[in-house]
């Protein structure tokens, strides 16, 4: 994986000192909260309901054991002994004191980490496929391209005061495990017929109150022009994205209002201009970065798994993913224990995961956008030992992509924007389905919960989505069906009037009843919904 | 300083300037007026203006002011780069709601003079201009980037 050189290290250290000075000026009253806000946001520091929240960037979700240990240390030193992994492959701490924030950033810098641009109206942390570098089905490892974009977008002088936040995802496989087309810019690294690597660009996707699926804006950008093209796409947005209304300021609104064709025309014009200016990094830089992502020394070994322990066999079936080397698998570490808080991990759990990564996964870990962790390269011969250790630490829930694997935003328990609680609902639904044994019967079912229309819990992209709203001072939950963030991307549709908390849990059960009664062989919930449509579900819910 | 001016800043209001030539002290006109008028030498770009409209007139412009009514509106950064990319070598002045923390990025985008609404602390500003010893991106300041340095022979 990527390691900082002296330049990268100096950049994060300079940023820590800059922020230390800004925080000091704020604490001394020389900066007003209004003046300080955009500066702290540029360093990932939000003011939440109860305290400051610090969001730490985990570029393209990749980290090593030393970094995970530092995250554990920060959780204990500055927070309450735990952290929360997010849908953007980051980690958030919910109880940070402003007085400590610069020290926490300095601790992060000591392990090549930072909180730069994890909030604010700038280019955010770049996300990617969590199986990058391990998946059997990828064209190439997307992370070198994501790292090139990370460096380009860090402290970009022109794009620090964009109309709104800007999220980029990079994948390199037909399968989309990063919700690529629900990003402001989605990039798929591809090979053309001549075998050359290039970047396919999508722009104008997003969730929030106006969900949009990004249209393709260019089929193939030669890889040594990728940064130039991104710069052109961003410049058009910076100049013409709406600034009169923050709810219409994302690039999706610009692309929608201009129409994709007109946006593409403007980007192409700017692209041609910027090619003549010359903003692309030297070609050798991509090669330098890529050298950090060469395969670890995989060794041949047993390819079959002893399935005599049924609990282990279930976990293998659910939580492992095919690896490009047939003596290895990628192993998902569920942060969704039944009744738990989706994405939360204690400092002790982080340390256990770090140790397992060191022992069994070439010192590599991933954060998944589903708020789970991943050991990308586990030898099949070690799988039982890994599972045994995870299980003992409460990290062995065999529920990847089941209804227990719920994505939920922090909701009203933490967030100052939320209208309703998300976490308790997620806890109750997973308990309910685990108790009744329904989880198993239903199989793959992606349930996503947001506590307000900002959609941090990705409810638009859930096979089942739940949106918490405030209805005359009472929490109310709208149910929607049929979304997907994957390569078969679609936006969920609302079923009808909302429910109270008990009601929405019952509604989720009813919806799965309809599915189980109607499903054909091998159909997932989503497939059945797409085949039979909304009506039978509505009938069961409101009929 | 007695020139009648409806808009634009006077040299007195410029707090930081990275040029050796004499500051221009002419009336500053709008982008529309600049396009209509044949003798304007100073123009002021507002956030909603298309900086490319004045590219045909750069040969006669000595000063372009870019206004930042609120610091969070970053359109002026693109305007500045577009002018420099088109070869503008005159004074490029950032005016308006400019704080310490915007200075280094503005400088990178090609601004070489600064007239903030509220005068800034001199020491803090000097530190801010020097924040980044190295930079990742190519921009209007023609600095060698980190990637350039990594790969120089």
Residues of chain A with pLDDT > 70, as a percent, come to 100
Give the CA distances from residue A485 to residues A172, A212, A418, A534, B66, in Å, rounded to whole numbers and listed in that order: 16, 11, 22, 19, 42
Pair A88, A216 in one domain: no
Residues A150 and A232 in one domain: yes
Residue of A121, A157, A243 with shortest CB distance to B105: A157
The residue segments making up the domain with residue A82 are 6-109
Average pLDDT value for residue range A93-100: 92
Contact A307, A316 (CB under 8 A): yes
Say yes or no for a CB contact (<8 Å) between B137 and A152.
Answer: yes
pLDDT at site B153: 67
Residue that wins the pLDDT comparison between A151 and B131: A151
Tens digit of each residue's pLDDT (9 = 90 or more) over A403-429: 999 999 989 888 888 999 999 999 999
For A238-336, list the strands marked E by DSSP.
320-322, 328-333
Radius of gyration (C-alpha) of chain A in whole angstroms: 23
Instruction: Say if residue A38 is in the same domain as residue A104.
Output: yes
Contact A144, A286 (CB under 8 A): yes
Name the DSSP class of A94: E
Same domain, A430 and A368: no
Q: Do A239 and A386 belong to one domain?
A: no
Taking only the tens of pLDDT, chain B with its 153 residues reads 334 345 788 888 999 999 999 988 778 899 998 888 778 899 999 999 999 999 999 999 999 999 999 999 999 999 999 999 999 999 999 999 999 889 999 999 999 999 999 999 999 899 899 988 899 999 999 899 999 999 986
Residue A371 · residue A85 · CB < 8 Å? yes
Write the ipTM.
Answer: 0.95
Q: In CATH, what number is assigned to the domain containing residue A47?
A: 3.90.480.20
What pLDDT sits at residue A413? 86
Same domain as A520, residue A444: yes
Both A102 and A188 in a single domain? no
CB contact under 8 A, A155 and B78: no
User: What are the Cα distances from residue A391, in Å, to A81, A164, A312, A367, B14?
Assistant: 20, 42, 9, 19, 66
Q: Is A290 exposed, middle or buried (0-12, 13-18, 19+ CB in 10 A)?
A: middle
A195 occurs within a structural domain: yes
- Residues in A touching B146 (Cβ below 8 Å): 7-8, 11, 151
Summarised one tens digit per residue, pLDDT across range A217-252 is: 999 999 999 999 999 999 999 999 999 999 999 999
Phi/psi for A55 (5° steps) reads: -105, 120
Q: Rounded to whole angstroms, how far apart are CA atoms A256 and A469?
A: 26
Does residue A72 sit in the same domain as residue A202? Answer: no
Count of domains for chain A: 4
Closest alpha carbon within chain A to B99: A35
Please indicate, yes or no, if residue A126 is contained in any of the structural domains: no
* Cβ contacts of A162 on chain B, cutoff 8 Å: 74
Q: Are residues A256 and A345 in the same domain?
A: no
Phi, psi of B91, deg, nearest 5 = -75, 130
Tell whether A120 is covered by a domain: no
From the list B125, B95, B86, the residue with the least C-alpha distance to B12 is B95
Q: Which residues contact B75 (CB under 8 A, 6 or more apart)?
A: A238, A239, A243, B47, B48
**Mean of pLDDT values over A170-198:** 97
- Express each pLDDT in A51-90 by its tens digit: 889 999 999 999 999 999 999 999 999 999 999 999 989 9
Same domain? A85 vs A13: yes
Dihedral sign (CA A99, B120, B78, A163): positive
Q: How many residues are present in chain B? A: 153
Find which of B46, B51, B138 to mutate to test the A interface (most A CBs within 10 Å of its CB).
B138
Alpha-carbon distances, residue B98 vs A180, B66, B69, B113, B131 (angstroms): 36, 11, 9, 12, 16
Determine, yes or no, domain membership for A127.
Answer: no
In order of start, what are the domains of chain B with their CATH numbers? Answer: 11-150 (3.40.50)
pLDDT at B2: 35
Domain ends where: A392, A419, A454?
Answer: A392
Confidence of residue A444 (pLDDT cuts 50, 70, 90): very high
Q: Please tell me which of the candidates A5, A157, A161 has its beta carbon nearest to residue B108.
A: A157
Task: Report if residue A398 sits inside a domain.
Answer: no
**H or E segment and range at residue A508:** helix A501-518
What CATH number corresponds to the domain at position A347? Answer: 3.30.70
Q: How confident is the model at residue B5, as a pLDDT?
A: 47
Same domain for A425 and A537, yes or no, is yes
Q: What value does the mean pLDDT of chain A take?
A: 96
A258 lies in the same domain as A285: yes
Is A129 part of any domain?
no
Q: What is the pLDDT of residues A371-389, one digit of tens each?
A: 999 999 999 999 999 999 9
Any domain includes A476: yes
- Residue A337 belongs to some domain of the structure: yes
Tell me if chain A has a CB within 8 Å of the CB of B44: no
Of B73, B101, B134, the CB nearest to A7: B134
CATH number at residue A514: 3.30.413.10
pLDDT of residue B3: 40
Question: What are the chain B neighbours of A7 within 8 Å (beta carbons)?
Answer: 134, 146, 149-150
Write out the two tokens for A477: 């939950």
Mean pLDDT along residues A122-143: 96
Residues of chain B contacting A152 with CB distance shorter than 8 Å? 136-137
């Amino acid at each position: 994986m990527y390691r900082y050189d002296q330049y990268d290290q100096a950049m994060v250290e300079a940023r820590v000192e800059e922020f230390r000075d800004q925080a000091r000026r704020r604490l001394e009253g020389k900066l007003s909260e209004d003046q300080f806000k955009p500066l702290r946001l540029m360093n990932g520091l939000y003011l939440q309901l109860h305290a400051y929240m610090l969001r730490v960037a985990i570029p393209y979700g990749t980290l090593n054991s030393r970094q995970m240990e530092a995250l554990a240390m920060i959780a204990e030193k500055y927070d309450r002994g735990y952290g929360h992994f997010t849908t953007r492959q980051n980690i958030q701490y919910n109880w940070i004191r402003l007085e400590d924030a610069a020290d926490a950033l300095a601790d992060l810098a000591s392990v090549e980490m930072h909180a730069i641009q994890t909030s604010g109206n700038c280019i955010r942390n770049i996300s990617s496929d969590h199986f990058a570098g391990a998946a059997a089905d990828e064209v190439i490892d997307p992370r070198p391209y994501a790292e090139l974009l990370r460096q380009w977008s860090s402290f970009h002088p022109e794009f620090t005061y964009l109309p709104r936040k800007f999220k980029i995802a990079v994948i390199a496989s037909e399968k989309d495990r990063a919700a690529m087309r629900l990003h402001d810019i989605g990039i798929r690294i591809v090979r053309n017929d001549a075998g050359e690597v290039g970047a396919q660009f999508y722009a104008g996707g997003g969730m929030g109150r106006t969900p949009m699926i990004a249209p393709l804006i260019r089929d193939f950008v030669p890889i040594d022009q990728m940064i130039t093209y991104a710069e052109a796409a961003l410049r058009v947005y910076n100049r013409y994205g709406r600034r009169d209304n923050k709810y219409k300021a994302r690039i999706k609104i610009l692309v929608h209002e201009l129409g994709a064709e007109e946006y593409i025309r403007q980007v192409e014009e700017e692209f041609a201009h910027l090619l003549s200016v010359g903003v692309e990094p030297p070609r050798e830089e991509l090669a330098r970065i890529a050298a950090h992502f060469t395969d670890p020394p995989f060794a041949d070994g047993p390819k079959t798994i002893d399935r005599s322990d049924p609990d282990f066999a279930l976990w293998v079936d659910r939580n492992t993913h095919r690896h490009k080397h047939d003596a290895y698998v990628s192993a998902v570490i569920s942060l969704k224990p039944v009744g738990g808080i989706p994405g939360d991990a204690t400092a002790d759990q982080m340390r256990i995961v770090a140790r397992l990564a060191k022992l069994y996964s070439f010192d590599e870990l991933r954060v998944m956008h589903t708020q789970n962790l991943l050991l990308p390269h586990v030898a099949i011969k070690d799988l039982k030992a890994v599972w045994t250790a995870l299980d003992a630490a409460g990290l062995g829930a065999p529920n990847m992509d089941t209804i227990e694997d719920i994505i939920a935003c922090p909701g009203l328990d933490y967030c100052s924007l939320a209208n309703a609680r998300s976490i308790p609902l997620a806890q109750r639904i997973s308990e309910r389905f685990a108790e009744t044994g329904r989880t198993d019967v239903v199989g793959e079912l992606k349930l996503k919960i947001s506590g307000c229309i900002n959609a941090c819990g990705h409810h638009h992209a859930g096979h089942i989505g739940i949106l918490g709203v405030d209805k005359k001072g009472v929490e109310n939950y709208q149910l929607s069906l049929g979304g997907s963030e994957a390569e078969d991307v679609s936006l969920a549709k609302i079923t009808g009037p909302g429910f109270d908390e008990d009601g929405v849990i019952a509604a989720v059960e009813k919806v799965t009843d309809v599915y189980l009664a109607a499903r054909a062989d091998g159909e997932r919930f989503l497939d059945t919904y797409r085949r039979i449509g909304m009506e039978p579900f509505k009938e069961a819910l409101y009929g | 300083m007695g020139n009648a001016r409806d808009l634009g800043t006077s040299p007195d209001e410029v707090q930081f300037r990275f040029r050796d030539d004499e500051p221009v002290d002419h009336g500053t006109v709008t982008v529309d007026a600049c396009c209509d008028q044949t003798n304007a030498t100073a123009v002021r770009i507002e956030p909603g203006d298309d900086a490319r409209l004045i590219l045909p007139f750069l040969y006669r412009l000595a000063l372009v002011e870019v206004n930042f009514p609120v610091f969070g509106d970053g359109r002026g950064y693109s305007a500045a780069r577009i002018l420099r990319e088109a070869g503008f070598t005159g004074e490029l002045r950032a005016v308006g709601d400019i704080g310490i923390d915007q200075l280094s990025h503005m400088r990178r985008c090609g601004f070489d003079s600064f007239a903030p609404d509220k005068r800034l602390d001199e020491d803090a500003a000097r530190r801010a201009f020097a924040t980044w010893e190295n930079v990742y991106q190519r921009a209007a300041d023609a600095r060698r980037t980190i990637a350039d340095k990594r790969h120089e022979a």
